[in-house]
Amino acid sequence: MTEAKQPIIQIRNVSKRFGKVTAVDNVSLDIRAGEFFVLLGPSGCGKTTLLRMIAGFELPTEGQILIDGQDMSHVPPNKRPVNMVFQSYAVFPHMNVTDNVGYGLRISGVSKGQIRDRVAEALELVKLGGFEDRMPDQMSGGQRQRVALARSLVMRPKVLLLDEPLSALDAKLRAQMQFELADLQDKVGITFVTVTHDQDEALSMASRVAVINKGEVAQLAPPSDLYEYPANRFVADFVGSVNIFEGTLTLDEPDKAAVDCPGLGKVYLNHGVTGPHGANVWIALRPEKIYLHVPGAGKAVRAAAQDAPDGHNLARGTIKGMSYLGDVTLYDIQLEGGQIIRVSRPNLSRHDQEDFTWDDKVSMHWRADSPVVLLS
Amino acid sequence: MFNRTAIAPLEYTRKLWMRSWVGLTMLFLYAPLIVLMIFSFNDSKRNVVWKGFTLKYYEKALNNDSLVEAMVNSLTIAFLATIISLVIGALAAVMLWRFRFPFKGLVEGTMSLPIIVPEICLGVAFLIFFAKIDWPTDLPWPLNLSAITIAHITFCFPFVAMVVRARLASFNKEEEEAAKDLGATEWQAFRDVLLPHIKPSLVAGALLAFTLSLDDFVITFFTSGPDTITFPVKVYSMVRFSVTPEVNAASTILIVLTVALTFIALKYQGLKGISDAH
């Protein structure tokens, strides 16, 4: 394989307009062979349009899509080396499982014996052995999805496209399928491209995620980078939950920086920021990275807000809202400036949620490397 | 009646007023037909008083050459009109469902016009139209039925289109895309996915078209010539002299025929499939 370095899908300056609406706006990205690629974004952001363009159901208004080095501009969907699992699964209701899974092979003229073997193999792969003669209306949503998966996998595509594959399943089944899909992808070695609006799904399955906003790629990164190093406010806010404060960059040296936020006070960082002095920036702080204490009682907090000698930042506030979620409790805390900051606290022991209650005065602190400075 | 358990709130079928209402409705609908059928066995020329059982009017009806000819004409026309309406109607429905084009609303409206326009007007229109274009009337059978058949297709196919269109509304377009995604051509996707989906509506549409064509009187009356009498027109001319049990017998044969056809179609398709079409 001399071409191993070549991306399996190359999307080059692709735009798609429906009348006056721009669904996809000048997107360029490469999808590598064998990876589990996820297109993540809110509904209506153009991610499904992008997937449908790869499948061939929509043609780009501008730009090119290359699959395995070949320009797909004039290749209809039935001739492309990709297969799709549809959001509604689109299992043929009048065919039983065997006929559904064997459909693609049958119309491409594969011999009967070979169809039988490959269908059996595909059903085994998605754990549907024994369901051969079932009709789709005798199956659950999860089983129908497996039929759709097997029907695509049996074609041995270079790329498998999945449109919101887990959105119609209940929470337990969804969690199970997340693992199974990742496992399946590992087993068959086919490139998976998945569209989803669910960040948990994206983070747990993907090798790389492209966050799409208003038809453009907001960030392309592995899941952990996306969460810990979001590139802009949109990504920080869309992936996970986050507190965002606007501020001014007042100090910027190679090993430290400070941002003056009117709502939060001065926020210190133990690393430099590449931004002009006095620039308008945003601080993004994840709720779980903030420690909560009763003022004065804390052993860890001796710091004054001005210098933060422990390497921690400090803030004070009053608890205005709580929601107990079992594994964690979320607190909405009103800062002295009036703004609300959200803190999540793990319930490490059974009575942890009783430590704080409404209208308690609390102090919060966080490490100097926890906040992310966003320039846009 | 001997069931002593209490009637649950939603068990309407066990309530007396509901049962009697259903019974009355059935009586209202079917009493005339049943009377007609019973009197086809009446041994009397007059057909007013019951005089005893006989099958001779069936014999008479089946030996009446012009009546049999009319029946054969009717069935031939109905058969041809159904087939052609089915093709045109289904294609029109698929076109209106799939494509967007200028004046689509207008096309849709004019297509259902034959359903709305009073039959008498359509009949007169056909009479004038076929006279104006000098449609040949002296063709050999079955070509001499062409004028009537064309007229029947005109008012039958909008019904087919309507039923098929309704069925198409429930089609998941992703199924068709899935077929293409798996390698199917446009035609293969149509044959393997869309056609099976609309099949119940095709059966329902065919039944509708067949019965509409078979019992049409008004339009046929205006488009038929002396050699192309259909069954309803023939019965009408017979009734003008007197309602004999022969007419009853012929009508009974027609009723049994249509009921049998409907039954076969339902049996083949399943009742559910047809009710799904609406």
Asked if B172's CB is within 8 angstroms of A78's CB, the reply is no
Q: What is the rounded average pLDDT for all residues in chain B?
A: 87
| pLDDT tens-digit series, residues A103-112 | 999 999 999 9
- Residues A75 and A115 both lie in one domain: yes
Nearest CA in chain B to A78: B183
B270 has a pLDDT exceeding 80: no
- Mean per-residue pLDDT, B238-250: 82
Q: What pLDDT is recorded for position B124?
A: 94
Identify whether residues A122 and A267 lie together within a single domain. no
Residues 153-172 (B) with a CB less than 8 A from some CB of A:
172
Q: Are residues A187 and A268 in the same domain?
A: no
* pLDDT, mean of residues B211-216: 89
- Same domain, yes or no: A150 and A132: yes
Q: Which residue, A209, A237, A265, sits at the end of a domain?
A: A237
What is d(CA A147, CA A93) in angstroms, rounded to the nearest whole number?
11
> Domain check: are A166 and A291 in the same one?
no
Q: What integer is the mean pLDDT of B99-125?
A: 90
Angstrom distance (rounded) from CA A11 to CA A27: 7
Q: Pick the last residue of a domain from A188, A213, A237.
A: A237
Q: What is the mean pLDDT of chain A?
A: 88
Q: Is A16 part of a structural domain of the chain?
A: yes
In a domain, A57, yes or no: yes
* Amino acid A311: pLDDT: 66
Beta strands A312-324; A328-335: pairing state = antiparallel
* pLDDT greater than 80 at residue B242: no
Nearest to A103 among B174, B177, B182 (CB): B182
- CA dist., res. A361 & res. A318, Å (int): 5
**Shared-domain flag, residues A292 and A313:** yes
pLDDT value at position A274?
76
ipTM of the complex: 0.82
Q: A174 in a domain, yes or no?
A: yes
Taking an 8 Å cut-off on Cβ atoms, the answer to whether A92 and B179 are in contact is yes
Name the nearest CA neighbour of B165 among B85, B106, B101, B89: B89
Q: Is the pLDDT of residue B273 over 60?
A: no
Half-sphere exposure of A134 (CA within 13 A, CB side): 17
Structural tokens at position B207: 């039944």
pLDDT at B141: 80
Q: Residue A189 sits in a domain of what CATH number? A: 3.40.50.300
pLDDT at A252 over 90: no
* Predicted structure pTM score: 0.80
Q: Is B192 left (phi over 0), alpha (psi -120 to 50) or beta?
A: alpha
pLDDT in tens, B143-173: 889 999 999 999 999 999 999 999 999 999 9
Per CB-CB distance under 8 Å, the chain A contacts of B174 are 86-88, 90
* Closest B-chain CA to A58: B177
Amino acid at A273: V
Among B33-42, B43-52, B84-93, B219-228, the range of highest mean pLDDT:
B84-93
DSSP B168: H
Q: Kindly state whether residues A151 and A299 are assigned to the same domain.
A: no
Q: Does A83 contact B196 at a Cβ distance shorter than 8 Å?
A: no
What residue of A is the nearest CA neighbor of B176? Answer: A90
Tell whether A353 and A366 lie within a shared domain: yes
| Comparison of pLDDT for A277 and A45, the residue scoring more | A45
pLDDT (0 to 100) of residue B3: 57
Question: End of a domain among A237, A271, A300?
Answer: A237
Residues in a beta bridge with B237: none
Q: Are residues A130 and A271 in the same domain?
A: no
State the Cα–Cα distance between residues A114 and A109, nearest whole angstrom: 10
Which pLDDT does position A305 carry in this prediction?
Answer: 41
| Contacts with A155 from chain B: Cβ below 8 Å | 182-183
Establish if B191 touches chain A: CB-CB under 8 angstroms: no
How far is residue A341 from each of residues A136, A338, A371, B262, measured CA to CA in Å?
A: 49, 10, 13, 71
**Cα separation of A242 and A240, whole Å?**
7
Query: How confident is the model at residue A210, as a pLDDT?
Result: 95
Taking an 8 Å cut-off on Cβ atoms, the answer to whether A152 and B182 are in contact is yes
pLDDT for A299 equals 46
| Residue entry with tokens 């049962």 | B19
Contact yes or no for B40/B57 (Cβ under 8 A): yes
The residue range of the domain holding A181 is: 9-237
Between A57, A88, A151, which is nearest B182 by CB?
A151
Does residue A331 contact residue A307 with C-beta atoms inside 8 Å? Answer: no
Q: Which residues in chain A are contacts of B180 at CB distance < 8 A?
A: 76-78
Backbone angles phi, psi at B72, to 5 degrees: -60, -45
> What pLDDT does A307 receive?
35
Burial A220-239 (b: 16+ CB within 10 A, else e): bbebeebbeebbbbbbbebb
Mark yes or no for CB contact B183/A155 under 8 Å. yes
Q: How many domains does chain A have?
A: 2
Residue A40 lies in a domain: yes
Q: Domain with A370 in it: what CATH number?
A: 2.40.50.100
Mean pLDDT for the stretch of residues A237-262:
88
- Is residue A1, in this structure, part of any structural domain at all? no
pLDDT of residue A310: 60
Of B175, B183, B185, the CB nearest to A104: B183
Residue A300 has pLDDT above 50, yes or no: no
Phi/psi of residue A161, each to 5°?
A: -100, 135
> Do the Cβ atoms of B174 and A90 come within 8 Å?
yes
Report if residue A3 sits inside a domain: no
Average pLDDT over residues B110-126: 90
Q: A130 and A155: one domain?
A: yes
The confidence band for B263, taking pLDDT boundaries of 50, 70 and 90, is confident
Q: Between residues A263 and A214, which one has the greater pLDDT?
A: A214
Of the ranges A122-126, A146-150, A175-179, B269-273, which one carries the lowest mean pLDDT score?
B269-273
Q: A311 in a domain, yes or no?
A: yes
Question: What pLDDT is stored for residue A304 in this prediction?
Answer: 42
Share of chain B above pLDDT 70, in %: 94
C-alpha angle A58/A34/A229, rounded to 5°?
85
- Between B159 and A251, residue with greater pLDDT: B159
Asked if pLDDT for residue A298 goes beyond 50, the answer is no
More confident position, B224 or A32: A32
Residue A124 has pLDDT above 50, yes or no: yes
Q: Do B181 and A78 touch (CB under 8 A)?
A: yes
Q: Is the pLDDT at A361 greater than 70, yes or no?
A: yes
| pLDDT reported for residue B277 | 44
Residues of A in contact with B188 (CB under 8 A): 107
Contacts of A115 in chain B (CB under 8 A): none
Mean pLDDT for the stretch of residues A195-207: 90
Cβ atoms of B205 and B163 within 8 Å: the answer is yes
Cβ–Cβ contact A87 with B under 8 A = yes
* Partner B contacted by A137 (CB < 8 A): no
Residue A53 near chain B (CB below 8 Å): no
Q: Are strands A361-367 and A372-374 parallel, antiparallel or unpaired?
A: unpaired
| Residue B43 pLDDT grade (very low, low, confident, very high; cuts 50, 70, 90) | confident
Rounded average pLDDT over B209-238: 88
- For residue A112, report the phi and psi dihedrals to the nearest 5 degrees: -60, -45
| Confidence band of B228 (pLDDT split at 50, 70, 90) | confident
Q: Which CATH architecture has domain B56-276?
A: Orthogonal Bundle (1.10)
Which one has a higher pLDDT value, A296 or A222?
A222
Annotated domain spans of chain B: 1-39, 56-276
Question: Is the CB of A103 less than 8 angstroms away from the CB of B197?
Answer: no
Query: How many interchain CB pairs under 8 A, A with B?
Result: 61
Joined together, the tokens standing for residue B113 give 């016009």
Residues on chain B touching A151 (C-beta within 8 angstroms): 178, 182
Is-contact A324 A353, C-beta < 8 A?
yes
Q: What is the pLDDT of residue A302?
A: 44
Candidates A88, A92, A107; nearest CB to B183: A107
- Gap from A77 CA to chain B (nearest CA, Å): 5
Q: Averaged over B33-53, what is the pLDDT?
A: 84
What confidence score (pLDDT) does residue B134 get? 84
What pLDDT, in 10s, does the model give residues B64-74?
Answer: 888 889 989 99
A171 and A137 housed in the same domain? yes
B178 touches chain A (CB under 8 A): yes
- What whole-number distance in Å separates Cα of residue A311 and Cα of residue A367? 6
Whether residues A188 and A274 share a domain: the answer is no
